[in-house]
Amino acid sequence: MPILSVTYKRSVTQNNNNMMSLEQFRQWLKRIDTNGDGRISKQELEEALRKLGIRFARWRAKRAIAHSDKNHNGLVDGDLEIIELLEYVKKRWGIVIP
Ligand SMILES: [Ca+2]
């Protein structure tokens, strides 16, 4: 199993702005929502992580969705789940979405 505490500095902005806002995160989710249904699937998240050059994209996407998907429909949808995902991303991956 990979070590989760690894941070991905390449995605962190130079101005030490470590606080990704919910609004920024929403914008990012909108961009990675390739089928445009307003919900994030494991495949969409995996693809987005891969593009950011993050390793273990499939595994990370699976873990992140499992954590955030409170109503167990296999997708991250709705404010509550988006906030869960944002908190998870910040805490577990230490990345800031560019
Ligand atoms: Ca869900």
Task: Write out 60-91 in H/E/C secondary structure.
Answer: HHHHHHHHHCCCCCCEECHHHHHHHHHHHHHH
Interval between CA 98 and ligand 1 midpoint (Å): 25
Q: Domain spans of the chain? A: 38-93
Give the span between the Cα atoms of 48 and 68, in whole angstroms.
17
Residue 11 · residue 95 · CB < 8 Å? yes
Grouped pLDDT means (10 residues each) for the chain, 98 residues:
43 49 91 95 96 92 96 96 93 73
Q: Which residues surround ligand 1, an ion (CB under 5 A)?
A: 69, 71, 73, 75, 77
Span from the CA of 66 to the centroid of ligand 1 (angstroms): 9
Between the CA of 47 and the centroid of ligand 1 the distance, in Å, is: 18
Task: Yes or no: say if 25 and 95 are a contact pair by the CB < 8 Å rule.
Answer: no
> The whole model's pTM is what?
0.76
